[in-house]
Amino acid sequence: MRPIVLSIAGSDSSGGAGIQADLKTIEACGGWGATAITAVTAQSTLGVTSQTALDPGIVVAQIEAVLGDLVVASIKTGMLGTAAVAAAVARALAAARPRPLVCDPVSRASSGAPLLDDAGLRVLREQIVPLATVITPNAAEAEALSGLPVRTVEQAMRAGERLLELGARAALVTGGHLEDAWAVDVLVEPTGVTRFDGERLAATTTHGTGCVLSAALATELAHGRTLAEAIAWAKRFVTAALRCGCALGHGTGAVDPLHAWHASRRTAP
């Protein structure tokens, strides 16, 4: 049976990020995606025009319904929307049976629109990060959580160390926005630092990159891979999804988690 991965995140009406991207990624990586929706956004390739956080009670009810019935192998969190929702999710996760938890600390959309206020960021830092098997911030998110500048690989390492001090068991600071010729993701663990070097692509279809990476990572952990193995696999997966991105609409296109399936459809007899 395919391992079940629970995504706790917001809905993206354009289908490029959030719950929609998570489900595509989980299925593409051989898992079964379950969801707890935290917020609904009205957005397109041009950006977010409106957003509404759901009531914390219904968010928790979704989590409890899934965990009470399905054998969930791993969990990932994405957009939480408000401090109240973040706190409710933290309580639900703390009460759940221990399993891999990937925290994608979404605070802004790729267009720059805020998706979590300062109070919500504090709850994320103080209550959810300590529960995380691994947290996967980009440079801006790592800065917001650690309070340190993150522009270089060395600074990413220091920010990752600060995130461990906050309670995360591991921190993967992604390198898409770092000042380096390569796209270097930095994994910081109590045992040391591991670099995951990758080619820096001149892609314009980048919407959903962080969601796809964290969802792929959560699914590979659900398959039983070690953290380092899961990160290496997820990085290769998101690189391929970037290469095969979809130029949708009039703004920033989206990565394509289902690129391999579409390629097989084109070549099928």
Does 118 map to a domain? yes
Is the torsion defined by CA of 136, 140, 145, 151 positive or negative? positive
Confidence of residue 210 (pLDDT cuts 50, 70, 90): very high
**What would the pLDDT profile of 128-146 be if each residue is shown by its tens digit?**
999 999 999 999 999 999 9
Whole-number pLDDT of residue 259? 83
Q: Is the pTM of this model over 0.85?
A: yes
**What would the pLDDT profile of 16-34 be if each residue is shown by its tens digit?**
999 999 999 999 999 999 9
State the Cα torsion 215-217-218-222 to the nearest 10°: 130
Whole-number pLDDT of residue 123? 97
- Rounded CA-CA distance 18/20 in Å is 5
Whole-number pLDDT of residue 86? 98
Judge whether residue 90 has pLDDT over 80.
yes
Does 146 map to a domain? yes
Q: Which residue has the higher pLDDT, 243 or 128?
A: 128
Report the CATH number at residue 235. Answer: 3.40.1190.20
Nearest to 234 by CA among 8, 2, 10, 22: 22
Does 267 map to a domain? no
Q: What percent of the chain has pLDDT over 90?
A: 77
Identity at 58, one-letter amino acid code: I
Does 269 map to a domain? no
Judge whether residue 258 has pLDDT over 80.
yes
How many other C-beta atoms are found inside a 10 Å radius of the C-beta of residue 111?
15
Confidence of residue 202 (pLDDT cuts 50, 70, 90): confident
- Rounded CA-CA distance 202/68 in Å is 44
Confidence of residue 266 (pLDDT cuts 50, 70, 90): low
**What would the pLDDT profile of 152-192 be if each residue is shown by its tens digit?**
989 999 999 999 999 999 999 987 667 665 678 999 999 99
Identity at 239, one-letter amino acid code: T
Does 101 map to a domain? yes
User: What is the residue range of 58's domain?
Assistant: 4-260
**What would the pLDDT profile of 60-84 be if each residue is shown by its tens digit?**
999 999 999 999 999 999 999 999 9
Q: If you average pLDDT over every residue of the chain, what do you get?
A: 92
Judge whether residue 269 has pLDDT over 60.
no
Does 266 map to a domain? no
Does 265 map to a domain? no
53-57, 71-75, 133-137, 252-256: the lowest-pLDDT one: 252-256
Q: Which residue has the higher pLDDT, 144 or 262?
A: 144
- Rounded CA-CA distance 18/198 in Å is 24
Does 268 map to a domain? no
What total of structural domains would you count in the chain?
1
DSSP 131: G
Judge whether residue 199 has pLDDT over 70.
yes
Contacts with 109 (C-beta within 8 Å, 6 or more apart), sequence order: 17, 41, 43, 47, 48, 115
Q: Which residue has the higher pLDDT, 267 or 3?
A: 3
| Structural contact between residues 199 and 232, judged by C-beta atoms closer than 8 angstroms | no
